[in-house]
Protein backbone atom coordinates (compact mmCIF):
# COMPACT_ATOMS: atom_id res chain seq x y z
CA UNK A 1 0.00 0.00 0.00
CA UNK A 2 1.98 3.00 -1.26
CA UNK A 3 1.59 5.74 -3.84
CA UNK A 4 5.19 6.93 -3.77
CA UNK A 5 5.58 6.71 -7.56
CA UNK A 6 2.40 8.72 -8.13
CA UNK A 7 3.43 11.67 -5.95
CA UNK A 8 6.88 11.78 -7.55
CA UNK A 9 5.27 11.78 -11.03
CA UNK A 10 3.06 14.69 -9.93
CA UNK A 11 6.25 16.45 -8.82
CA UNK A 12 7.89 15.77 -12.21
CA UNK A 13 10.74 13.92 -10.53
CA UNK A 14 12.04 10.40 -10.07
CA UNK A 15 11.76 8.38 -6.88
CA UNK A 16 15.18 8.57 -5.14
CA UNK A 17 17.10 5.31 -4.85
CA UNK A 18 16.83 5.55 -1.05
CA UNK A 19 13.03 5.21 -1.35
CA UNK A 20 13.04 2.04 -3.50
CA UNK A 21 12.06 0.04 -0.38
CA UNK A 22 9.51 2.60 0.84
CA UNK A 23 6.56 0.36 0.00
CA UNK A 24 8.00 -2.39 2.22
CA UNK A 25 8.23 0.07 5.13
CA UNK A 26 4.63 1.14 4.59
CA UNK A 27 3.46 -2.48 4.43
CA UNK A 28 5.35 -3.30 7.65
CA UNK A 29 3.90 -0.29 9.50
CA UNK A 30 0.38 -1.17 8.33
CA UNK A 31 0.81 -4.77 9.54
CA UNK A 32 2.08 -3.52 12.92
CA UNK A 33 -0.96 -1.26 13.18
CA UNK A 34 -3.37 -4.04 12.17
CA UNK A 35 -1.99 -6.28 14.94
CA UNK A 36 -2.75 -3.61 17.57
CA UNK A 37 -6.41 -3.04 16.71
CA UNK A 38 -9.31 -5.49 16.75
CA UNK A 39 -10.62 -4.43 13.37
CA UNK A 40 -9.54 -1.79 10.89
CA UNK A 41 -10.08 -0.73 7.31
CA UNK A 42 -7.08 1.06 5.84
CA UNK A 43 -7.34 3.22 2.78
CA UNK A 44 -4.95 5.57 0.99
CA UNK A 45 -5.91 9.14 0.29
CA UNK A 46 -3.80 11.26 -2.05
CA UNK A 47 -3.94 15.05 -1.70
CA UNK A 48 -1.58 16.96 -3.99
CA UNK A 49 1.94 15.66 -3.18
CA UNK A 50 0.90 13.93 0.04
CA UNK A 51 -0.50 10.54 0.95
CA UNK A 52 -2.47 9.60 4.05
CA UNK A 53 -3.16 6.06 5.16
CA UNK A 54 -6.38 6.33 7.11
CA UNK A 55 -8.24 3.81 9.27
CA UNK A 56 -11.90 4.21 8.33
CA UNK A 57 -13.06 2.21 11.38
CA UNK A 58 -11.08 4.02 14.11
CA UNK A 59 -11.24 7.29 12.11
CA UNK A 60 -7.60 8.23 12.42
CA UNK A 61 -4.44 8.63 10.37
CA UNK A 62 -2.02 5.71 10.44
CA UNK A 63 0.69 7.31 8.27
CA UNK A 64 1.19 10.55 6.37
CA UNK A 65 3.99 11.15 3.88
CA UNK A 66 4.73 13.78 1.29
CA UNK A 67 7.12 15.73 -0.85
CA UNK A 68 7.38 19.18 0.71
CA UNK A 69 6.16 22.22 -1.20
CA UNK A 70 5.65 25.85 -0.35
CA UNK A 71 2.48 26.46 1.66
CA UNK A 72 -0.35 25.76 -0.78
CA UNK A 73 -2.64 28.46 0.61
CA UNK A 74 -2.98 30.97 3.40
CA UNK A 75 -3.72 29.42 6.82
CA UNK A 76 -7.51 29.28 7.23
CA UNK A 77 -7.81 30.36 10.87
CA UNK A 78 -11.62 30.31 10.96
CA UNK A 79 -11.73 26.77 9.60
CA UNK A 80 -9.16 25.60 12.12
CA UNK A 81 -11.21 27.23 14.91
CA UNK A 82 -14.24 25.25 13.68
CA UNK A 83 -12.33 21.97 13.89
CA UNK A 84 -13.22 19.84 16.94
CA UNK A 85 -11.65 20.83 20.26
CA UNK A 86 -8.63 18.53 20.54
CA UNK A 87 -8.33 19.24 24.27
CA UNK A 88 -11.66 17.48 24.82
CA UNK A 89 -9.74 14.28 24.02
CA UNK A 90 -6.49 15.02 25.84
CA UNK A 91 -7.76 16.63 29.04
CA UNK A 92 -10.42 14.06 30.01
CA UNK A 93 -8.13 11.25 31.14
CA UNK A 94 -6.79 10.77 34.65
CA UNK A 95 -4.49 13.47 36.09
CA UNK A 96 -1.29 11.64 35.18
CA UNK A 97 -2.14 11.44 31.47
CA UNK A 98 -3.83 14.80 30.89
CA UNK A 99 -2.06 17.19 28.59
CA UNK A 100 -2.70 20.43 26.75
CA UNK A 101 -2.76 20.01 22.99
CA UNK A 102 -2.90 22.03 19.79
CA UNK A 103 -4.57 21.26 16.50
CA UNK A 104 -1.30 20.02 15.04
CA UNK A 105 -0.56 19.05 11.46
CA UNK A 106 0.87 15.67 10.50
CA UNK A 107 2.28 17.42 7.43
CA UNK A 108 3.17 20.98 8.39
CA UNK A 109 1.27 23.87 6.80
CA UNK A 110 4.55 25.59 5.84
CA UNK A 111 5.56 22.52 3.82
CA UNK A 112 2.28 22.11 1.93
CA UNK A 113 0.10 20.34 4.52
CA UNK A 114 -3.64 20.89 4.30
CA UNK A 115 -6.36 20.82 6.99
CA UNK A 116 -9.04 18.26 7.92
CA UNK A 117 -7.50 14.75 7.75
CA UNK A 118 -4.11 16.35 8.46
CA UNK A 119 -5.06 17.71 11.93
CA UNK A 120 -4.71 15.83 15.22
CA UNK A 121 -4.25 16.45 18.99
CA UNK A 122 -0.57 17.43 19.20
CA UNK A 123 1.02 18.02 22.61
CA UNK A 124 1.45 21.80 22.85
CA UNK A 125 5.07 21.83 24.07
CA UNK A 126 6.07 19.46 21.28
CA UNK A 127 4.14 21.23 18.53
CA UNK A 128 5.34 24.72 19.45
CA UNK A 129 8.94 23.75 20.23
CA UNK A 130 8.69 24.63 23.93
CA UNK A 131 10.07 21.33 25.25
CA UNK A 132 13.43 19.65 24.65
CA UNK A 133 11.70 17.24 22.25
CA UNK A 134 9.77 20.13 20.74
CA UNK A 135 12.96 21.94 19.75
CA UNK A 136 14.10 18.84 17.82
CA UNK A 137 10.65 18.43 16.26
CA UNK A 138 10.51 22.06 15.11
CA UNK A 139 14.04 21.82 13.68
CA UNK A 140 12.93 18.92 11.48
CA UNK A 141 9.78 20.76 10.42
CA UNK A 142 11.78 23.89 9.54
CA UNK A 143 14.18 21.81 7.44
CA UNK A 144 11.31 20.28 5.45
CA UNK A 145 9.74 23.71 4.87
CA UNK A 146 13.03 25.32 3.86
CA UNK A 147 14.08 22.63 1.39
CA UNK A 148 11.04 22.13 -0.82
CA UNK A 149 11.09 18.81 -2.63
CA UNK A 150 12.15 16.99 0.54
CA UNK A 151 10.45 13.66 1.22
CA UNK A 152 9.19 13.26 4.79
CA UNK A 153 6.74 11.23 6.81
CA UNK A 154 4.86 11.41 10.08
CA UNK A 155 3.69 8.18 11.70
CA UNK A 156 1.41 8.32 14.75
CA UNK A 157 1.70 5.40 17.16
CA UNK A 158 -1.45 4.70 19.16
CA UNK A 159 -1.72 2.81 22.45
CA UNK A 160 -5.52 2.90 22.60
CA UNK A 161 -8.51 3.32 20.29
CA UNK A 162 -8.66 7.14 20.41
CA UNK A 163 -7.42 9.51 17.73
CA UNK A 164 -4.70 10.77 20.11
CA UNK A 165 -1.28 9.30 19.24
CA UNK A 166 0.90 8.31 22.20
CA UNK A 167 4.06 8.71 20.13
CA UNK A 168 4.97 10.35 16.85
CA UNK A 169 7.66 9.10 14.51
CA UNK A 170 8.88 11.84 12.17
CA UNK A 171 11.30 11.07 9.37
CA UNK A 172 13.04 13.37 6.91
CA UNK A 173 15.03 12.18 3.89
CA UNK A 174 17.82 14.74 3.63
CA UNK A 175 19.23 15.38 0.16
CA UNK A 176 17.47 12.19 -1.03
CA UNK A 177 20.14 10.11 0.71
CA UNK A 178 20.21 10.25 4.49
CA UNK A 179 17.33 9.61 6.88
CA UNK A 180 16.88 11.59 10.07
CA UNK A 181 14.19 9.88 12.12
CA UNK A 182 13.04 10.84 15.61
CA UNK A 183 10.32 9.46 17.88
CA UNK A 184 8.49 11.93 20.13
CA UNK A 185 6.19 11.49 23.12
CA UNK A 186 2.73 12.90 22.45
CA UNK A 187 1.21 12.32 25.89
CA UNK A 188 1.11 14.06 29.24
CA UNK A 189 4.58 12.86 30.16
CA UNK A 190 7.22 15.14 28.64
CA UNK A 191 10.60 13.61 27.84
- Residue 191 domain flag: no
Q: Decide: helix, strand or coil at residue 22.
A: helix
Instruction: Write the DSSP symbol of residue 85.
Output: -
Tally of structural domains, the chain? 1
User: Which has the closest alpha carbon to 84: 125, 119, 110?
Assistant: 119
- Residue 190 domain flag: no
pLDDT in the model for residue 191: 40
- Residue 68 domain flag: yes
- Residue 175 domain flag: yes
Between CA 46 and CA 26 the distance in angstroms is: 15
Beta bridge partners of 101: 123
Q: What CATH number corresponds to the domain at position 181? A: 3.40.570
pLDDT in the model for residue 114: 78
Between CA 51 and CA 3 the distance in angstroms is: 7
pTM of the model: 0.88
- Residue 40 domain flag: yes
Between CA 177 and CA 36 the distance in angstroms is: 32
Between CA 148 and CA 142 the distance in angstroms is: 11
Between CA 37 and CA 58 the distance in angstroms is: 9
Between CA 32 and CA 155 the distance in angstroms is: 12
Q: Whole domain around residue 9: which residue ranges?
A: 4-185
pLDDT by position in tens, the chain (length 191): 468 999 999 999 999 999 999 999 999 999 999 999 999 999 999 999 999 999 999 999 999 999 999 876 665 565 455 445 555 555 455 556 676 778 889 999 888 887 688 989 999 999 999 999 999 999 999 999 999 999 999 999 999 888 899 999 999 999 999 999 999 999 865 44
- Residue 92 domain flag: yes
pLDDT in the model for residue 83: 47
Amino acid sequence: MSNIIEIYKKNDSLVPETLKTWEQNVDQWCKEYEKKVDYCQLTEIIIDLSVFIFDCIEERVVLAYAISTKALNKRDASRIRGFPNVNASTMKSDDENKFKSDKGHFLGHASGGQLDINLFPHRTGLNRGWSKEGKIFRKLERYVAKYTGTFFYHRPIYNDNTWVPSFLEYGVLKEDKLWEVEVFTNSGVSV
